[in-house]
A and B are shown apart, each in its own frame.
Chain A
């Protein structure tokens, strides 16, 4: 599997994002990047009771899901939180269901006002 077909799989499959989020260590890493973005592996590792290799593996999963983007700054590799996949899931999955609930409430309001 090439790097690019790997990335293509991300594009066509929300599964990677859901799988990446279904782990508390990875959610913790995203929360750390949300608090302060652009961190090195060493910085992220210092906040976890885990081997460097373990943290690398989790970051790899997040990167494959598009949730983390890495960029070079001099000799350092910095990790950035990319919220776009979460936004897409929000637009695709969350809005759809909350909208229905809101419209149900709106219907209820209309009915109650009619009877009043």
Chain B
């Protein structure tokens, strides 16, 4: 029972409705040329097969501020383009975050009709309070600490208008 309650507290769910095809959203998640254009603007490299590596490189501006070359690492668990991606995810720029380890992150892409696609992000964050606070966007908002809701909102803006906050 305690474990159940624990899991409920720690999993975070985010959903954005985007006027774009599932393939366009899949590319925005997995193609480094796209990931560089929204959110934190790092190039995300995915080896899209079970056991394949995931690495998000820091953009130059962040490198200049002392960020490590690889900001986030992880492993692909399941890749079903353009519908579902399951991976692990671990931020590397802070020892406290590194210590919390790899956490499971699921991307679900579903049709919502009439050219609209729903993107749902499920981040399982059991035993990772620092990572949870960071991705929830509860840290300094002025420093771009908007977490997943900011990233998804920016991805939506990019796919729908061609512009983003990062660009």
Contact = CB atoms under 8 A, between A and B. Distances in A.
Q: Specify whether A and B are partners.
A: yes
Interface of A: 2, 4-5, 7-8, 10-11, 36-39, 66, 69, 71, 73, 78, 80, 82-84, 86-88, 91
A84 B152 contact: yes
B16 interface: yes
B9 A38 contact: yes
A4 B112 contact: yes
A82 B157 CA distance: 17
A87 B141 CA distance: 12
10 contacts: A4-B114, A7-B112, A8-B116, A11-B17, A37-B13, A78-B8, A80-B11, A84-B149, A88-B153, A88-B156
A38 B7 contact: yes
Contact of A11 (B8, B9, B112, B150): B112
Interface string B113-131: 1101010101000000000
B12 interface: yes
Given A7-B118, A10-B17, A91-B153, A38 B113 contact: no
Contacts, number: 71
Contacts of B12: 37, 80
A39 B157 CA distance: 30
Contacts of A37: 8-9, 11-13
Interface string B131-162: 00000110000000010011011001100000
Interface residues of B, number: 28
Interface of B: 7-9, 11-17, 19, 111-114, 116, 118, 120, 122, 136-137, 146, 149-150, 152-153, 156-157
A82 B14 CA distance: 5
A8 B15 contact: no
B153 A8 contact: no
B15 A5 contact: no
A87 B136 CA distance: 12
B24 to A, nearest CB: 15
Contacts of B9: 36-38
Given A36-B8, A39-B8, A87-B146, A7 B113 contact: yes
B17 A7 contact: yes
Contacts of B11: 37-38, 80
Contact of B113 (A2, A71, A86): A2
A99 to B, nearest CB: 13
Contacts of A10: 17
B14 A4 contact: no
